[in-house]
Amino acid sequence: MVTLHTEERLAVAVVAAIHTGDVSRLEGLLAENPGLATARLGDDDPGGMSCTLLHIATDWPGHFPNGPATVAALVAAGADVNARFRGPHGETPLHWAASNDDVEVLGALIDAGADMEADGAVIGGGTPLADARGFGQWRAAHRLVERGAKTNLTDAATLGLIDRVESYFARTAPTPEDVNHAFWGACHGGQRRCAEYLLDRGADLNWVPPWEQLTPLDAAERSDAAELVRWLRGRGAESASETTVTSRGQHEVKTQRKRRHIELLLGWLDALRRRDLEALAAALDPDIVWQGLRKDLVCRGREEVIAAFVAQHDQNNEIDSIELIGGNEHVVLGVRLPGLRDIAGIQAEGEIYNVFTVADRKVTLIADYLKRDEALTAGGIAKAASEEQ
């Protein structure tokens, strides 16, 4: 087998033909140079790296002109569609096409016999599908599945294949590590339904993988999955900057409860504005109690609390300002309403304060106060502030 250094005239010519989509020129070079189709480009010395012409056809950024025709010409001349890169990994051309989201070339390689289950990916040594979903190449990932590529739990969760996710739990008992991995993948893929399913089955909301210091929330934000980010925030998810992570991907929450509680309530208020009843319920303990200004003014359970807040929100069209004050176990929400003069027969002075008690990232109790200092005292915030001074 011939190995050409990348600066040799023939190597430069064949690479140019492939990258410009000049199939006629490529076929001429293959005819004039027997063995070129199976040649490797690079350095096969110890510690060197080399690849095949099919790797050149699928190299970053991919999507070269006449890609499928180029693949067909190389395969017809004898190129090995499953040849491996030599170096720090052993990826095939199909791995590279998947990494570039080049579905046309990916299809041509599969038609020519490329092994969709070949290992060696830079993503965990896995298959081309592992590369596609790891790099967020969604068209290629789904095309591989359509063509028959096998999926593991993480693949299925990342791509939003909820039926396959459910089938894994029906057939086996995934380990906690598998569930965490799949949950992170679902957030990376912006797949809320799969994320909810996995969180309900014990996924760590703030799990950090060993390959990068990102929590599921960070992964969702990077993928611009805004709706999923709001849902995660509503469940109390944190970014990596809010946690201290260990080498095994576990985490210890920093002493940033105040910020976390404020962000939880911000997400809840946004859900209230959008009337996202599911997100509202997700942030509330099932047995939550909302205690009003009088003992007889009380709501019990998620449905009553949400219904009351939605009705109150609809009535309050003249809000002047709001204030959020975070504490270790509470958040105080202050609302100024110029027209608020009476609450169930109790005289008001244009403002109301709700003290939210938070435990395990859920609001368990809401209590109303007319005075700011009373609310701060009830929430332990005034006392905490004085102790810090």
Domain limits, the chain: 1-147, 151-254, 284-388
In angstroms, the CA 340 to CA 349 distance is 7
Superfamily of domain 151-254: Ankyrin repeat-containing domain (1.25.40.20)
In angstroms, the CA 127 to CA 111 distance is 17
- Residue 234 contacts residue 279 (beta carbons within 8 Å): yes
Name residue, tokens 């690849």: 51
Q: Strand, helix or coil at 327? A: coil
Quick one: pLDDT at residue 318?
72
In angstroms, the CA 83 to CA 53 distance is 10
- Enumerate the β-bridge partners of residue 331: 326, 356
User: Is 0.85 surpassed by the pTM of this model?
Assistant: no
| Domain at 1-147, CATH class | mainly alpha
Give the burial string for 187-219 (b: 16+ CB within 10 Å, else e).
Answer: bbbbbbebbbbbbeeebbbbbbbeeeebbbbbb
Domains 151-254 and 284-388 share a fold: no
Quick one: pLDDT at residue 96?
97
**What is the H or E stretch that residue 286 is in?**
strand 284-291
Quick one: pLDDT at residue 246?
41
Task: List the chain residues with pLDDT less than 70.
Answer: 242-257, 316-317, 382-389
284-388 maps to CATH 3.40.50.12280: no
In angstroms, the CA 310 to CA 125 distance is 50
What's the number of CA atoms in the CB half-sphere (13 Å) around residue 283? 30
